Structure 1
Amino acid sequence: MRRRPAGEGRRPAPAWMGGARPWQVLALAAALALPPAAALAERVTVRSGDHPGFGRLVFDWPALPAWSLQQQGDGVLLRVPAGTTLQPPARLPRNLLSLAEEPEGIRLVLRPGASAKAYRLGARVVVDVADPPAQPPAPERTRAAARPVAASPPPAGPVEARSRARRTRGAAPPEAPSPPPALAAPSPPAPAASVAAMPTSPAAPAAAAPAPPVALPAARPARPLPGGQAVLLPVPAGTGAAVVRRGGEVLAVLDSAEAPDLAPLRGHPVFGALVADPLPGATLLRLPLAPPGQLRARREAAGWVLEAIRPAPALEGAPALMPEAEPGPPPRLLLKAAAPGRVVPVADPETGLPLLLGTLREGAEALPVGRRLPEFDLLPSLLGAAVLARSDGVAVQALRGRFGIAAAGGARFALDAGVTQPPAAPAMTRSFDLPDQPPAELLNRAQALQAAIAGAAPLTRLAQRRAAGEALLALGLPQEAQAMLALGFAEDPRATADAGYAALAGAAALLAGRLAEAGALRAPDWPESDEATLWRAALAAAQGEWREAGPGFAATMPLLLAYPAALRARLLPLAALALAEAGERAALARLLGRAGEAAEDLVLPRAILAELDGKPEEALALYDRAAAGRDRQARARAIRRGVELRLVTGAIDAKAAARALEAALYAWRGDRQELETRLRLATLRRGSGDARGALALLRETAAMLPEQAEALQPAIRDAFLAGLAESPPLAAVALFDAFPELLPADPRGEEAMLVLADRLLALDLGDRAAALLRQAMERAAGTSRAALGLRLAALRLQESDLSGAEAALADSAAPELPAGLAQPRAVLAARLDARRGRVPEAVAALRALGPAGGEALAELLTESTDWAGAAAALGTHLAATLPAPPATLADAQRRLLLRQAALLALAGDEPALAALRESAAARMGEGPLAEAFALLTADPLRGLADLPRLQRELQLFRSLPARLEALRAGAPVTR
Structure 2
Amino acid sequence: MLDTIIADGVPSDDAVPYLMRSMAWMELGRNAEAMKDLAHPLLATSLDAAAIRGIVHANEDRWREARENFAAAAGVAGTLPIDMQRKMVLAATRTALEMRDSKEAARVFSEFETIGVPDELAAEVAVLAGRIAESEGKMGDALVAYERAGRMNESPAAAEARFRALAARIGAGKITRDQAIGDLEGFTVLWRGDRTEAEALGLLGRLYVDANRYRDAFRTLEAATISHPTSDVTRTLQQTMTGAFADLFLEQRGEELSALEALGIFYDYSALVPVGRRGDEMIRRLADRLISVDLLEQASELLQHQVDKRLQGAARAQVAAKLAMVQLKNRKPDKALRTLRATSLAELPSEIREQRLLLEARATSETGRHDLALELLEGLRGKEVDRLRADILWAAKRYGESAEAIERAYGDRWQSFAPLADHERHDILKAAVGYALGDDKLGLHRFRGRYAAKMADSPDRAAFEAVSTSFGLDSTDFKDIARAVSSVDSLDRFLRDYRTRYGDDKTSDGAEPAAPEAPAPPRQSRAPAPAPG
Partner of 1:662: 185
Deviation at 1:573, TM superposition (A): 2.3
Give the 5 Å matches for 1:207-226: none
Alignment-derived partner of residue 129 in structure 2: 606
Residue in 2 that maps onto 1:809: 340
Match 2:296 to one of 770, 785, 792: 770
1:586 and 2:117 are equivalent in the alignment? no
Contact 1:831 1:856 in 2 (8 A): no
In the alignment, which of 43, 51, 58 is matched to residue 541 of structure 1? 58
| Pairing partner for 1:842 from 370, 376, 379 | 376
Specify which of 485, 489, 503 is matched with residue 19 of structure 2. Answer: 503
Partner Cα distance (2:350, 2:239) in 1: 29
Q: How does 1:441-840 map to 2 (within 5 A)?
A: 483=1, 485-494=2-11, 498-519=14-35, 520-553=37-70, 556-557=73-74, 559-596=76-113, 600=122, 601-630=124-153, 632-652=155-175, 656-665=179-188, 669-670=192-193, 674-675=197-198, 677-703=200-226, 725=254, 727-735=257-265, 751-763=281-293, 766=294, 769-780=295-306, 781-783=309-311, 789-798=320-329, 801-810=332-341, 824-833=355-364, 836-838=369-371, 840=374
Question: How far apart, CA to CA, are the structure 2 residues paired with 1:589 and 1:741?
Answer: 42
Q: Is the 8 A contact 2:38 2:49 kept in 1?
A: yes
Query: Is the contact between residue 242 and residue 273 of structure 2 (CA under 8 Å) also seen in structure 1?
Result: yes
Q: CA shift at 1:701, angstroms? A: 4.4
Instruction: Tell me the CA shift for residue 546 of structure 1.
Output: 1.8
Change (3 A) 1:569 1:860: closer
Change (3 A) 1:713 1:576: closer
Match of residue 500 from structure 2 = none
Paired residue for 1:856?
Answer: 384
Q: CA–CA distance in 2 between the matches of 1:545 and 1:845?
A: 67
Once residues 740 and 569 of structure 1 are traced to their aligned partners in structure 2, the CA distance between those partners, rounded to angstroms, is: 47
1:582-601 CA-partner distances (Å, limit 9, x unpaired): 23333332333331396623
Structure 2 CA distance for partners of 1:525 and 1:824, relative to 1, 3 Å: farther
1:697 is displaced (CA, Å) by: 3.1
Tell me the CA shift for residue 959 of structure 1: 10
Distance 1:735 1:557, change over 3 A: closer
Partners of 1:865 and 1:651 in 2: how far apart?
A: 73
Query: Alpha carbons of 1:846 and 1:745: their partners in 2 closer, same or farther (altered >3 Å)?
Result: farther
| Distance verdict in 2 for CA 1:716–1:582, change over 3 Å | closer
Q: CA deviation at 1:772?
A: 0.7
Mapping of 1:269-308 within 5 angstroms? Answer: none
**Change in CA separation of 1:749 and 1:516 when aligned onto 2, cut-off 3 Å:** closer
Q: Are the aligned partners of 1:777 and 1:785 in contact in 2 as well (CA < 8 Å)?
A: no
The Cα shift of 1:614 comes to 1.5
CA shift at 1:828, angstroms?
A: 2.0
| 1:554-588 Cα shifts (integer Å, max 9, x gaps) | 56456334444333344332232223222333333
Identity of counterpart residues, as a percentage?
Answer: 26
Question: What is the CA distance between 1:502 and its match in structure 2?
Answer: 1.2
**Cα distance change on mapping 1:573 and 1:663 into 2, 3 Å:** farther
> Which amino acid is the alignment partner of residue 76 of structure 2?
L
- Once the two structures are TM-superposed, the CA of residue 827 in structure 1 deviates from its matched residue by 3.5
1:526 shift after superposition: 1.9
Whole-Å separation in 2 of the counterparts to 1:499 and 1:690: 56
CA contact (8 A) 2:48 2:73 kept: yes
The answer for the alignment partner of 2:450 in structure 1 is: none
The whole-number CA distance in structure 1 between the counterparts of 2:273 and 2:344 is 21
Structure 1: how far apart are the matches of 2:379 and 2:272? Answer: 39
Amino acid of the residue matched to residue 359 of structure 2? Answer: L
Deviation at 1:602, TM superposition (A): 0.8
**How big is the shift at 1:603?**
0.9
Q: Which amino acid aligns with 1:543?
A: E
Partner of 1:228: none
CA 1:802 to 1:587, structure 2 compared with 1: closer, same or farther past 3 Å? closer
Cα deviation, 1:394-445, whole Å, max 9, x if unaligned, reads: xxxxxxxxxxxxxxxxxxxxxxxxxxxxxxxxxxxxxxxxxxxxxxxxxxxx
Aligned counterparts of 1:693 and 1:682: Cα–Cα separation in 2: 7
Q: Which has the higher contact order (CA 8 A, sep 6+)?
A: 2
Residue segments in structure 2 that go unaligned for 5+ positions in a row: 391-401, 422-452, 461-511, 516-533
Letter in 1 for 2:297: A
Distance change (3 Å), C-alpha of 1:566 and 1:659 = same
- What is the TM-score with the length of structure 2 in the denominator? 0.59
What is the CA–CA distance in structure 2 between the aligned matches of 1:820 and 1:608, rounded to whole Å? Answer: 61
Task: For residue 145 of structure 2, give the secondary structure of its aligned residue in structure 1.
Answer: helix
Shift of 1:518: 1.1
Question: Contact 2:150 / 2:162 at 8 angstroms: preserved in 1?
Answer: yes
Structure 1 pair 560–796 and aligned structure 2 pair: CA distance change class (3 A): same
- 8 Å CA contact retained: 2:181, 2:208: yes
Structure 1 or 2: more strand by fraction: 1
The structure whose Rg is larger is: 1
Indicate how the Cα distance of structure 1 residues 613 and 741 shifts in structure 2: closer, same or farther if over 3 A, else same: closer
- C-alpha deviations, 1:623-648, integer Å up to 9, x for none? 33334443633244434544444444
Shift of 1:800: 5.4
Once the two structures are superposed, residues 759-809 of structure 1 have per-residue CA deviations (whole angstroms, 9 ceiling, x without a partner) of: 45554xx3xx12112333444424387566433432343465533432443
Q: 1:762 to 1:744 in 2, by over 3 A?
A: same
What amino acid sits opposite 2:108 in the alignment? L
1:682 maps to amino acid: G
How many correspondences in the alignment?
Answer: 396
Partner of 1:731, secondary structure, is helix
Deviation at 1:833, TM superposition (A): 4.6
Matches within 5 A, 1:241-390: none
Considering only aligned residues, what root-mean-square deviation do their CA atoms show, in Å?
Answer: 4.8
Counterpart Cα distance in 1 of 2:108 and 2:380: 78
CA deviations 1:662-713 (Å, max 9, x no partner) are 35535664456644554453343233211111233333444556789x9898
Unaligned runs of 5+ in 1: 1-482, 848-853, 871-901, 914-927, 930-953, 962-967
Whether contact under 8 Å (2:333, 2:364) holds in the other structure is no
Q: Is the 8 A contact 1:867 1:904 kept in 2?
A: no
Q: What secondary structure sits across from 1:518 in the alignment?
A: helix
- Give the distance between the partners of 1:658 and 1:814, measured in 2 at CA: 53
Question: Which amino acid counterpart does residue 694 of structure 1 have in structure 2?
Answer: A
Q: Does the Cα contact within 8 Å between 1:499 and 1:526 map onto a contact in 2?
A: yes
CA contact (8 A) 1:580 1:609 kept: yes
Is the contact between residue 691 and residue 722 of structure 1 (CA under 8 Å) also seen in structure 2? no
Distance 1:649 1:833 in 2: 65
Q: What CA distance in whole angstroms lies between the structure 2 residues aligned with 1:819 and 1:656?
A: 57
* 1:525 CA displacement: 3.9
Counterparts of 2:194 and 2:158, CA distance in 1: 15
8 Å CA contact 2:130, 2:143 repeated in 1: yes
The letter of the residue matching 2:205 is A
